[in-house]
Amino acid sequence: MIRFDDVTKTYLRGTRPALTNLDIEFERGDFVFLVGASGSGKSTLMRLVLKETAPTSGSVYVAGKDLSRVPSWKVPSLRREIGMVFQDFRLLPTKTAYQNIEFALAVIGTPRKQVRRLVPEMLEMVGLADKGRRLPHELSGGEQQRVAIARAYVNRPTILLADEPTGNLDPATSEGILELLAEINGQGATVVMATHDQGAVDRMSRRVVELVDGHVVRDEEHGTYESTAPDSEISGAAETADGETDTSVHPEERETATVARAHGSRAAAAVDDVEDEELVDEAEDAPNDLDDAFDEELDDTFGDEAPGAEAPEGPEAAAHEEEAR
Ligand SMILES: Nc1ncnc2c1ncn2[C@@H]1O[C@H](COP(=O)(O)OP(=O)(O)OP(=O)(O)O)[C@@H](O)[C@H]1O
């Protein structure tokens, strides 16, 4: 379903790669937790799957397609196969829960009749059948994340990427979100979730892939958050006495120590090669129809104001309530 074939990603010439010689495969129906310290490369891995950024070398395959061969005009249709959920929900603040989900269908031209069937179905699935008329600020964090998941899944994508979806939620609420993601996975979607949520990882006992400085150091079929693997940074095993990662150990040596499954990363130390590599022009990234539509919607809503501005309250909110289905 998703395959990285010797992928190195260097954002800026002369800096350490965000990912180095990554060889890994996520199969159809997998539920994978990506764990690792901040900056270890989890989000970069997801951005590569979305073709938001290109590998510096190597190939990324999604649903059998080599993404380097997918022209930019076909990227929106690629992304319809992929739902994305974020830590900060990213809902449109002046649209109701119903309208946020509806919007994801509208931008891809779904017929109205289908929309009227699909949106209530999704609200029901995420346990918000009675809250479709609420604006995001009238919902709890957990409820907002449920709306975001409904929006990401309403097109029934085959892949769901979630970047720290429980990062802003308390443990009990986080548990509900994980149950929802497990249900989506149970319906056949491949779920890849980057997380620092130890409770969630331990409870679920799913595949765990740990990244350290852009290398896979652990890939366990039924893993936990912490690990006794010698390369694991989470377990502290790769740290020196003062808490720094022990860079005196060559990544190639560290590599031989673990990788419970066969997908492990290859030896690294590509820093010296960076000088020869081209700087990837992020501006060439292909457009995302849903993101673009959301950006336009936010511009229309706020003009020059920051998107984090307060959502309307009082009579204005009531007017929205009135408009809402
Ligand atoms: N657009 C960018 N331009 C330059 N460097 C970047 C860019 N995005 C990420 N990086 C760098 O790439 C490395 C990996 O970052 P990435 O965001 O993938 O890590 P992460 O594991 O997702 O971290 P976090 O847990 O904090 O979200 C970091 O060193 C980061 O500074």
Q: What is the pLDDT of residue 1?
A: 93
Determine the pLDDT at residue 231: 79
ipTM value, please give it: 0.97
> Residue 228 falls within a domain, yes or no?
no
Residues of the chain with pLDDT under 50: 236-287, 302-325
How many Å lie between the centroid of ligand 1 and the Cα of residue 6? Answer: 19
Give residue 150's domain range. Answer: 84-156+297-325
Where b means 16+ CB within 10 Å and e means fewer, 122-151 reads bbebbebeebbbbbbebbebbbbbbbbbbb
**Is the separation of the CB atoms in 8 and 59 below 8 Å?**
no
Within-domain flag for 275 = no
Compute, in angstroms, the gap from residue 11 CA to the centroid of ligand 1. 9
CA-to-CA separations, 296 to 15, 107, 182, 301, 303, in angstroms, rounded: 34, 12, 32, 8, 10
Q: Is 29 helix (H, G, I), strand (E, B) or coil?
A: coil
The response to whether residue 86 sits with its C-beta less than 6 Å from ligand 1 reads: no
CATH of the domain at 119: 3.40.50.300
What pLDDT score was predicted for residue 316?
Answer: 36
- Ligand 1, residue 39: give the atom nearest the CA: 19
Q: ∠ CA(150), CA(54), CA(274), 5° rounding? A: 140
Give a yes or no: residue 134 inside a domain: yes
Query: Which of 40, 164, 271 has most ligand 1 atoms within 8 Å of CB, for mutation?
Result: 40
**Confidence (pLDDT) at 28:** 95
Q: CA-CA distance, 131 to 144, in Å (whole number)? A: 11
- Quick check: is 152 in a domain? yes
Q: Which of 26, 54, 7, 27 is nearest to 278 (CA)?
A: 54
Q: Let me know: does 79 contact 113? Beta carbons within 8 Å.
A: no
- Structure confidence at residue 259 (pLDDT): 37
Look at residue 298 in the predicted model and tell me its pLDDT.
55
From ligand 1's centre to the CA of 303, what distance in Å? 29
pLDDT for the residue numbered 292: 61
Atom 19 of ligand 1 has which residue's CA nearest to it?
39
Say how many domains are in the chain: 1
Residue 232 alpha carbon to ligand 1 centre in Å: 19
pLDDT of residue 101: 97
Cα-based distances in Å from 87 to 67, 164, 240 = 26, 5, 31
Ligand 1 mean position, distance from CA 19 (Å): 9
Atom of ligand 1 nearest to the CA of 43: 22
Residue at 289 is within a domain: no
312 located within any domain? yes
Which residue has a Cα nearest atom 6 of ligand 1? 11
Domain membership of residue 132 (yes or no) is yes
With contact defined as beta carbons under 8 Å apart, do 291 and 92 qualify? no
Domain assignment present for 238: no
